[in-house]
Structure 1
Amino acid sequence: MNTIQIGILCTGLLLLGTGCRQNSSPVAPDPNYAVYSAIIDSDCPTTQSGQQAFLIINPKTAKPGISDWNSLIQQINQPSISNDPAWQQFILSIDSTAFNTNPLTGSVPSTCFRTQVLTDEQWMHYFGTPTNPGIEGLRNDFSGFSSYLTFSSVVYSADQTKAICYRASVCGGLCGSGNLFFLERKSATWTVVGSVLLWIS
């Protein structure tokens, strides 16, 4: 089992509430929330009914579990990233330990979805043990539930104009995916410019 597979397994266990959940850490920095919002809004639906979807967010960040960033570059299908020397330099400079595990204490607003970050107590209720209600409990308790999201912390380039963030999205037992997102800051606004699919179920 390679490092990426181990990271995916760990993230899966985290989402199911059965393991890999670490103890107290510094809270996520405020700038990260703008990146999270940009990632969520990159999936904005075009229909009114889609805009009523409810996204529930894990109160703890996860690590993407990637150690070979050179191989990752080869998986990027967007030439504007994979062929850009600035992006290449940034990606290859990443130390995987930079992805910290942080509690989310703020809201993650969206222009097109309803969102809510679970409290620690709510997380324990839904995912604290394998017998807890989990995703189906969220579906029953939150009208319009669409997906349960887990973000990583955000890693920024030295000039603060580029960012990389992992997001897992789970909507059921065999319904989910994990993506690494690449963002650029333009006019003080973060915009998703590409992504890589790491896993799907």
Structure 2
Amino acid sequence: MKLRAIYLTVLLLGSLLGCDQSDNLIEQEREVYSALINYWPKDTLQNVVLNSESAPFDEEQMARYISSFKYQSTNLTSVKRSLTTINSSSSTLPLPAHEDLQIFAENERTEIFGNPKRSLKSRWETFNKLHPESLSIISLSRVGFNKSASKALVYYSSSCGPLCGRGYMVYLERGFWGWRVIWLENLWVS
């Protein structure tokens, strides 16, 4: 009972202090990323580089990913709509600090992969020279939330070479103890 009273007091103080809704959503997004990163096996984190920027998706591309997502246990219509809307342009991700995670800064990514005159194979060779311990690059979408920010969807891809990659959709729910992964689905493999 005491724990519930503390939780309700914290909620009340947050509303009295006038916490901005957008700041709260950014913090929720950071917590979703943290839950996802903590869900991945520890050895995975030591062998990947995480993009610091989200990739933009056009509505058709995101619609394909969403329609491929088979989790049907709950109504996710508003979450799917939010995921599509927030990912129409790229932006810096509010990533959590994590000791085992390497962040791939946008300027480094552009320097390595941004030159279309070089072959994709050559660009990956450059990446592998600079990050010899890393097996892949993970790119995250921004997080789509329902109106109460209790359900979330995030898309991510793992690229490991010119013709090597996978795409995933992850459904998370927020409970009393925070965000947790409910369903992770592999959407495509290259």
Q: What is the TM-score when the length of structure 2 is the normalising length?
A: 0.68
- 1:57 aligned partner: 50
Aligned pair in 2 of structure 1 residues 167, 70: CA closer, same or farther (>3 Å)? closer
Deviation of residue 68 (structure 1)? Answer: 6.3
Aligned pair in 2 of structure 1 residues 187, 144: CA closer, same or farther (>3 Å)? farther
- 2:188 aligned partner: 199
The answer as to whether partners of 1:107 and 1:116 remain within 8 angstroms in 2 is no
Corresponding residue to 1:97 among 85, 97, 102? 85
Q: Which amino acid aligns with 2:130?
A: D
Q: Which runs of 4+ in 1 moved over 6 A?
A: none
Where 2:62 maps in the other structure, the secondary structure is: coil
- 1:10 aligned partner: none
Q: Distance in 2 between matches of 1:179 and 1:90?
A: 19
Deviation of residue 177 (structure 1)? Answer: 0.4
The answer as to whether partners of 1:54 and 1:142 remain within 8 angstroms in 2 is no
The answer as to whether partners of 1:52 and 1:144 remain within 8 angstroms in 2 is no
Aligned pair in 2 of structure 1 residues 167, 51: CA closer, same or farther (>3 Å)? closer
Q: Distance in 2 between matches of 1:52 and 1:154?
A: 20
CA RMSD of aligned residues (A): 3.0
Deviation of residue 58 (structure 1)? Answer: 1.9
Gapped runs of 5+ residues in structure 1?
1-27, 77-81
Deviations 1:137-165 (Å, cap 9, x if unpaired)? Answer: 23221242122011111111111111001
Q: Distance in 2 between matches of 1:186 and 1:158?
A: 15
Q: Distance in 1 between matches of 2:66 and 2:136?
A: 31
Q: Distance in 1 between matches of 2:110 and 2:162?
A: 19
Q: Which amino acid aligns with 1:109?
A: A
- 2:10 aligned partner: none
Q: Identity over the aligned pairs, expressed in percent?
A: 22
Aligned residues: 160
Deviation of residue 56 (structure 1)? Answer: 1.2
Q: How does 1:56-75 map to 2 (within 5 A)?
A: 56-63=49-56, 65-67=61-63, 71-72=67-68, 75=70
Q: Which amino acid aligns with 1:121?
A: N
Q: How does 1:1-201 map to 2 (within 5 A)?
A: 29-45=26-42, 50=43, 53-63=46-56, 65-67=61-63, 71-72=67-68, 75-76=70-71, 82-84=72-74, 87-91=75-79, 94=82, 96-104=84-92, 107-110=95-98, 114-130=100-116, 131=118, 133-201=122-190
Deviation of residue 39 (structure 1)? Answer: 1.9
The answer as to whether partners of 1:108 and 1:117 remain within 8 angstroms in 2 is no
